[in-house]
């Protein structure tokens, strides 16, 4: 029986009658009490286990909610702003609109939008989210479609009015909906991700509308009508799926398990956000109307939303005033929106972590003010364009941050819903102003428009954010001093419940919160609200805490840290305050940190410097009541963090060495790394996708087309490469699930091919050490940087110097600052994905508009009759090109190399790898098509590794295209170098741990920086030699070929070994089982590729390297490795009369290593007989 069922009926009856005739407050209190006592599915688990479960749960909720809600808002913003694109397509002329009619059509939308918003959240509570969101999306989709059929201006006004009514509920509804799923400290980044869809809509909405406008005349409809119709039909299509993609409340969500639903409900109540399924009560509306903060929030939101609408509606007009017209103006509008989207997510993430929402508002709006001052004060187009970036960066982040601030400081779900509706509705009503302030006659300075925006932003800064911050700070100070207790004592129980955030123990979010973690009903927050308190001692903390809390803190023994609270009825009766129902609950058991006798009772100096009440490392755990912890880290898009328990190393006594096993058969068991399991799903995905998407896609398409002769054959090779990569990935995935340890192919070959002894290990060691380098991306980095700086003709010394500098910097970061290295590769991984998506959208723009005045007529190279012209079907050429394609897909198994550091390795590996493969395949095919659309085929063949730079230059001109974006490509190459060095260093450390490298103890240790510094050193040396030794002109292609060819031997061996194990070891547990024909296809292709380089190519030019040089070099390396193995493990031991044996040792940091010792043959024989 659950904790809920055990509640005595007498107690329920008592609570229901505790408030007299009105008993409603008592019933609500009892409902909250029952929810607070939901059975804990994680009872008995440690805090570390709870955090891991919570993080996994939030990641699941994020994946189900945030992408779909962001898509809905993207469509909403497209549908409300596409009228501007319709205007450019001739809507005004066709509908007979006169001067001022267009502004009126904008204004009517905001009037209905603002009037409907305050009531929408109440309607959301009545109808449930699934019905509500599905209904409004289908409604505005139908209205948008019908808008394309209007024949006069009056019809357009009617459609715009009803469109405002239909769209009014989405934005406030989603913000309220998110507050029912997430804690207050988690809302900001989710809201910012959701709102960044508005900036994305601005980025490509114009491109999409311009393409649709080319349908002018189809079915007798003008192009502007098709814009409304196509986008409206798309909205209806998405609306149909809302019924299955939107869930009501956490307690009824079908994508969660029963335990997960309970966890979500418990964590919401712990965060003092109340009940998600609260019954409708008009008293909450009256409370919202009577709260002065409601009107303060309305002023703040008005100050940021009016500039937003002005900027989004009139940015093309502002750019036109700078002298940019037509296509160029549309393209130049994209970068400011991209910056705005990035800043929105970054500010949301930062504000969630710090809770400095007021300060974030102040800083960002100041940036926006500077931007609009530049726009108004200068007539220089470059200065004005810079102002648009600052203006966008100062507007968009404030929207989501302000709404998160409102959510954090409004208690009670119904009151919060109505307050959000009022705030957003009032802000949108000011859209009427933004629709009419930019006057064409004031071009290019737009004094009125920029001046009004500046006025709203100053109001937002001074009258809104600063005033609200000071007012809430004073209120918090009065609450801590107990000045509101007398008024609280006069209220009835029901009035106390309706009061919400007016309760004396409610502390407003200002700077940094310290949250009580325990049973959910203990949900008040002790906040540090003044800067001086960020460096407080325990005495200061006690002085500024509320008297009731101080009374309970004083009960803690003097030898324990003052963070324990005994929330029992007896202690509450001893306090000077009236009893709060939330505090009259039985205690629960979590963890207390007991202070050693030799530690002073005040906070340590390290804690004073950090500004947090953190626990010292020498505290001991024992069962207790509850603790205070700092604000929780968020799971969404956050870098991996390591716990102290997982990262701490253990030094084992020498007497235990014999009990430690490094047998090959134990490879089927997971192995914990001394570095800890710190890689989350996101970090593992970035580790894979950043390894895959490196310099290959930016550099190799030109050389492939030059080799095979035609775009058609080049595209076929990319498809074949993806298919082969999928087969190889499936093989690695089965091995990785079966043998979940770091090392990748090294572990798989050693497990499969145990005889001859040490042969597989030696071959892998030689291949990894000599050919596992990161030289190619370092070279691409130097080439693109020099191209951006106009130094294409720079000498080899400068090119190689830049490449070596990058290599050294990456090695240093991973060696000395390992966590920083992981964060950098995460950020740059997302940057490079964004770059490719942006390039694809740019190619889409070109194919839809074909601006003849800037680009030569394209399309002939992709026409069927010319697609295959000049194709070179020589198998040697095709094989060489396939090697380059494979190189672009190389790294899908990168996570296999570091499985010891991946959380939940088998499950993560199965989802991460296929997600990365689908991502890479789609992006590669689309970016190749974009290249063929934009750059003429002859220039592609001559481009070498600079095809992406030519693409940027042709689309954006010599300014942006030649300087800024090539630098972005160089950054993506840096990201690839980071992830390759990260994985290769750990792989080489595994080789050192096995004793196959000299000085293995030094190379295997993780000291002093808890990083594989020895593996990084082994990785650095061959990469340095490969960069500096070959001639620069031939270095890139030669590196790709030498790096790819020997790998086919190992791919063949791994695939063949998998087939052999299927029949030899059917007992092995295989969580993932690859389709056997895929393995056979992989084997056949590997054999073909090994033979292909020896087919002579036609029309070989004099002076080139011998066509099979790279294959000969690869075979020579493997042959030399076999010879080395024979001499080292067979010949020399036979001549010396000894045998190589393995002995397990443990380093001081807890790393287990294998030492290869010389055991005399007689002793070895006796040992074998004894065994």
pLDDT at res. 464: 63
Whether the per-residue pLDDT at 167 is higher than 70: the answer is yes
Split at pLDDT 50, 70, 90, the class of 634 is very low
What's the whole-number mean pLDDT along residues 939-965? 69
- Intra-chain end-to-end CA distance of the chain, in Å: 56
Does 640 fall in a domain?
Answer: no
Which DSSP string corresponds to 245-298? Answer: H----GGG-TTS-HHHHHHHHHHHHHTT---TTPPP-HHHHHHHHT-HHHHHHH
Same domain, 962 and 1098: yes
What's the whole-number mean pLDDT along residues 702-724? 81
pLDDT at res. 959: 64
C-beta of residue 1015 within 8 angstroms of C-beta of residue 987: yes
Question: How big is the CA angle at 292 (ends 288 and 293), to the nearest 5 degrees?
Answer: 80
What confidence tens digit (pLDDT) does each residue in 1003-1051 have? 778 777 778 888 888 888 888 887 877 655 555 566 656 666 777 788 8
C-beta of residue 395 within 8 angstroms of C-beta of residue 308: yes
Instruction: Indicate the number of domains in the chain.
Output: 5
Same domain, 783 and 840: yes
Between CA 646 and CA 650 the distance in angstroms is 10
Same domain, 797 and 843: yes
Same domain, 626 and 671: no
pLDDT at res. 35: 52
What's the whole-number mean pLDDT along residues 216-223? 81
Closest by Cα among 182, 206, 233 to 332: 206
Does 1047 fall in a domain?
Answer: yes
Same domain, 956 and 808: yes
Same domain, 342 and 363: yes
Same domain, 1139 and 1127: no
Closest by Cα among 15, 14, 19, 16 to 493: 19
Whether the per-residue pLDDT at 645 is higher than 70: the answer is no
Q: Which residue has the higher pLDDT, 103 or 618?
A: 103
Least confident of 288-297, 520-529, 944-953, 1044-1053: 520-529
Does 653 fall in a domain?
Answer: no
Same domain, 606 and 699: no
pLDDT at res. 1043: 67
Instruction: For the chain, give the percent of residues with pLDDT over 90.
Output: 0
pLDDT at res. 488: 67
pLDDT at res. 1157: 78
pLDDT at res. 329: 64
Q: What are the beta bridge partners of residue 1141?
A: 1157
Q: What are the beta bridge partners of residue 1160?
A: 1138
Same domain, 1074 and 1099: yes
Q: Among the three residues 630, 651, 683, which one is the final residue of a domain in this structure?
A: 630
CATH number at residue 280: 1.20.1250.20
What's the whole-number mean pLDDT along residues 824-833? 81
Closest by Cα among 1004, 938, 967, 932 to 1154: 1004
What's the whole-number mean pLDDT along residues 1104-1112? 71
Which DSSP string corresponds to 50-82? Answer: HHHHHHHHHHHHHHHHHHHHHHHHHHHHHHHHH
Does 483 fall in a domain?
Answer: no
Q: Among the three residues 420, 454, 477, which one is the final residue of a domain in this structure?
A: 477
Same domain, 1137 and 1126: no
What's the whole-number mean pLDDT along residues 837-849? 69
pLDDT at res. 105: 84
pLDDT at res. 1098: 62
Split at pLDDT 50, 70, 90, the class of 557 is very low
What confidence tens digit (pLDDT) does each residue in 989-1000 have? 878 887 777 777
Does 245 fall in a domain?
Answer: yes
CATH number at residue 1092: 1.20.1740.10
Whether the per-residue pLDDT at 423 is higher than 50: the answer is yes
Same domain, 982 and 1104: yes
Q: Tell me the three state secondary structure of residue 706.
A: helix
pLDDT at res. 962: 66
Does 649 fall in a domain?
Answer: no
What confidence tens digit (pLDDT) does each residue in 882-911 have? 777 877 787 788 788 778 888 888 888 888
Give me the domain span that covers residue 590: 511-630
- Name 1112's Cβ contacts closer than 8 Å, sequence gap at least 6: 1106
Write out the E strands in 726-830.
none
Whether the per-residue pLDDT at 647 is higher than 80: the answer is no
Least confident of 10-14, 36-40, 134-138, 309-313: 10-14
Whether the per-residue pLDDT at 76 is higher than 80: the answer is yes
Same domain, 386 and 431: yes
Whether the per-residue pLDDT at 114 is higher than 70: the answer is yes
What confidence tens digit (pLDDT) does each residue in 428-479 have? 777 777 777 777 677 777 878 888 888 888 888 776 677 777 877 787 777 7
C-beta of residue 172 within 8 angstroms of C-beta of residue 257: no
Split at pLDDT 50, 70, 90, the class of 384 is confident
What confidence tens digit (pLDDT) does each residue in 349-358 have? 777 667 677 7
pLDDT at res. 1041: 65
Closest by Cα among 887, 893, 883 to 689: 893
Between CA 392 and CA 1158 the distance in angstroms is 69
Does 1155 fall in a domain?
Answer: yes
Split at pLDDT 50, 70, 90, the class of 517 is very low
For 357-387, b where at least 16 C-beta lie within 10 A, e where not — what string? bbbbbbbbbebbbbbbebbbeeeeeeebbbb
Q: Among the three residues 578, 609, 630, which one is the final residue of a domain in this structure?
A: 630
Whether the per-residue pLDDT at 249 is higher than 70: the answer is yes
Whether the per-residue pLDDT at 395 is higher than 50: the answer is yes
pLDDT averaged over the chain? 70
Split at pLDDT 50, 70, 90, the class of 558 is very low
Q: Which residue has the higher pLDDT, 933 or 985?
A: 985
Does 489 fall in a domain?
Answer: no
C-beta of residue 786 within 8 angstroms of C-beta of residue 798: yes
C-beta of residue 275 within 8 angstroms of C-beta of residue 366: no
Highest average pLDDT, of 27-36, 199-208, 983-992, comes from 983-992
């Amino acid at each position: 029986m659950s904790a809920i069922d055990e509640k005595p009926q007498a107690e329920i009856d008592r609570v229901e009658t505790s408030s007299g005739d009105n008993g409603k407050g008592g019933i609500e209190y009892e409902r909250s009490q029952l929810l607070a006592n939901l059975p804990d599915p994680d009872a008995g688990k440690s805090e570390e286990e709870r955090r891991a479960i919570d993080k996994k749960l939030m990641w699941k909720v994020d994946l189900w909610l945030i992408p779909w809600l962001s898509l809905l808002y993207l469509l909403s913003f497209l549908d409300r702003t596409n009228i501007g694109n319709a205007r450019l397509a001739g809507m005004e002329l066709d509908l007979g609109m006169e001067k001022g009619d267009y502004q009126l059509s904008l204004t009517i939308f905001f009037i209905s939008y603002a009037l409907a918003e305050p009531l929408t959240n109440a309607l959301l509570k009545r109808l449930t989210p699934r019905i509500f969101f599905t209904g409004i999306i289908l409604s505005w989709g139908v209205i948008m479609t019908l808008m394309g059929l209007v024949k006069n201006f009056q019809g357009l006004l009617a459609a715009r009015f009803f469109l405002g009514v239909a769209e009014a509920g989405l934005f406030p509804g989603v913000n309220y909906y998110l507050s029912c799923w997430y804690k207050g400290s988690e809302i900001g980044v989710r809201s910012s991700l959701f709102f960044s869809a508005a900036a994305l809509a601005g980025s490509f909405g114009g491109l999409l509308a311009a393409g649709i406008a080319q349908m002018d005349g189809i079915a007798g409809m003008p192009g502007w009508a098709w814009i409304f119709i196509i986008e409206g039909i798309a909205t209806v299509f998405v609306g149909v799926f809302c019924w299955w993609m939107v869930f009501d409340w956490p307690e009824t969500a079908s994508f969660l398990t029963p335990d997960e639903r309970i966890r979500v409900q418990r964590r919401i109540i712990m965060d003092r956000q109340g009940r998600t399924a609260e019954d409708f009560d008009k008293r909450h509306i009256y409370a919202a109307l009577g709260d002065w903060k409601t009107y303060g929030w309305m002023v703040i939101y008005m100050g940021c939303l009016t500039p937003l609408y002005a900027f989004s509606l009139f940015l093309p007009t502002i750019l036109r005033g700078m002298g940019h017209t037509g296509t160029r103006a549309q393209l130049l509008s994209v970068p400011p929106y991209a910056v705005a989207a990035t800043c929105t997510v970054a500010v949301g993430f930062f504000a969630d972590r710090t809770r400095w929402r007021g300060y974030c508002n102040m800083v960002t709006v100041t940036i926006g003010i500077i931007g609009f001052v530049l726009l108004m004060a200068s007539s220089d187009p470059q200065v004005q364009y810079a102002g648009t970036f600052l203006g966008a960066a100062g507007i968009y982040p404030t929207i989501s941050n302000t709404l998160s601030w409102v959510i954090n400081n409004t208690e009670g779900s119904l009151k919060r819903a109505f307050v959000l509706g009022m705030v957003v509705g009032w802000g949108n009503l000011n859209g009427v102003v933004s629709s009419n302030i930019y006057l064409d006659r004031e071009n290019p300075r737009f004094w009125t428009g920029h001046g009004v925006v500046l006025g709203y932003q100053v109001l937002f800064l001074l009258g809104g954010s600063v005033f609200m911050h000071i007012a809430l700070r004073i209120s918090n100070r009065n609450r801590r001093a107990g000045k509101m207790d007398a008024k609280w004592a006069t209220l009835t129980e029901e009035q106390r419940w309706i009061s919400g955030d007016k309760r004396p123990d409610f502390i407003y979010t200002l700077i940094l919160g310290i949250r009580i973690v325990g049973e959910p009903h203990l949900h008040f927050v002790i906040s540090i609200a003044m800067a001086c308190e960020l460096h407080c001692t325990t005495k200061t903390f006690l002085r500024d805490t509320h008297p009731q809390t101080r009374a309970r803190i004083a009960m803690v023994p003097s030898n324990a840290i003052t963070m324990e609270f005994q929330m029992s009825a007896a202690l509450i009766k001893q306090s000077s305050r009236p009893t709060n129902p939330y505090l009259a609950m039985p205690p629960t058991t979590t963890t207390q940190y007991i202070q050693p006798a030799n530690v002073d009772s005040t906070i340590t100096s390290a804690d004073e410097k950090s500004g947090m009440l953190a626990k010292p490392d020498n505290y001991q755990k024992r069962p207790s009541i509850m603790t205070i912890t700092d604000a929780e880290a968020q799971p969404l898009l956050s870098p991996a963090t390591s716990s102290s328990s997982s990262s701490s190393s253990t030094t084992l006594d020498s007497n235990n060495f014999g009990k430690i096993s490094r047998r090959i058969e134990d490879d089927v068991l997971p192995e914990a790394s001394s570095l800890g399991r710190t890689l989350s799903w996101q970090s593992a995905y970035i580790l894979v996708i950043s390894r895959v998407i490196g310099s290959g896609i930016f550099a190799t398409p030109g050389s492939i087309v030059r080799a095979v002769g035609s775009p058609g054959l080049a595209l076929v090779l990319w498809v074949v490469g993806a298919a082969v990569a999928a087969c190889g990935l499936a093989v690695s995935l089965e091995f990785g699930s079966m043998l979940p340890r770091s090392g990748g192919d090294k572990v798989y070959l050693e497990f499969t091919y145990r005889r001859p002894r040490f042969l597989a290990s030696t071959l892998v060691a030689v291949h990894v050490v000599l050919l596992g380098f990161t030289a190619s991306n370092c070279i691409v980095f130097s080439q693109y940087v020099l191209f951006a700086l106009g130094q294409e003709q720079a000498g080899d010394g400068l090119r190689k110097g830049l490449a070596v500098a990058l290599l050294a910097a990456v090695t240093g970061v991973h060696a000395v600052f390992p966590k920083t290295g992981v964060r950098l590769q995460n950020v740059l991984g997302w940057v490079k994905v964004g770059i490719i998506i942006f390039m694809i959208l740019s190619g889409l723009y070109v194919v839809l508009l074909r601006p003849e005045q800037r680009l030569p007529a394209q399309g002939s190279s992709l026409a069927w009759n010319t697609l295959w012209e000049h194709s070179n079907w020589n198998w040697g050429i095709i094989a060489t090109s396939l090697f380059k394609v494979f190189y672009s897909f190389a790294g899908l198994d990168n996570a296999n190399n570091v499985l010891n550091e991946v959380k939940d390795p088998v499950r993560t590996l199965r989802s991460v790898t296929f997600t990365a493969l689908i991502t890479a395949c789609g992006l590669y095919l689309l970016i190749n098509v974009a290249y063929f659309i934009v750059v003429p085929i002859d220039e592609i063949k001559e481009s070498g590794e600079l095809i992406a730079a030519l693409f940027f230059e042709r689309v954006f001109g010599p300014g942006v295209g030649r300087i800024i974006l090539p630098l972005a490509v160089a950054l993506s190459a840096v990201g690839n170098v980071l992830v390759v060095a990260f994985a290769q260093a750990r792989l080489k450390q595994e080789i050192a741990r096995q004793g196959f490298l000299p000085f293995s103890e030094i190379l295997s240790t993780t000291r002093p920086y808890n990083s594989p510094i020895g593996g990084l050193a082994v990785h650095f040396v061959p990469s340095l030699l490969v960069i500096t030794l070959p001639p620069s002109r031939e270095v890139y292609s030669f590196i790709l070929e030498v790096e790819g060819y020997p790998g086919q031997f190992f791919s063949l061996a791994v695939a063949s070994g998998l087939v052999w194990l299927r029949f030899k070891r059917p007992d092995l547990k295989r969580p993932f089982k690859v389709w056997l024909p895929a393995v056979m296809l992989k084997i056949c292709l590997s054999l073909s590729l090994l033979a292909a380089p020896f087919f002579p190519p036609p029309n070989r030019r004099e002076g080139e390297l011998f066509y099979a040089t790279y294959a000969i070099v690869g075979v020579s390396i493997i042959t030399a490795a076999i010879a080395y193995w024979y001499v080292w493990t067979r010949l020399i031991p036979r001549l010396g009369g000894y045998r190589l044996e393995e002995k397990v040792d443990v380093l001081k940091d807890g790393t287990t290593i294998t030492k290869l010792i010389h055991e005399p043959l007689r002793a070895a024989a006796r040992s074998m007989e004894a065994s």
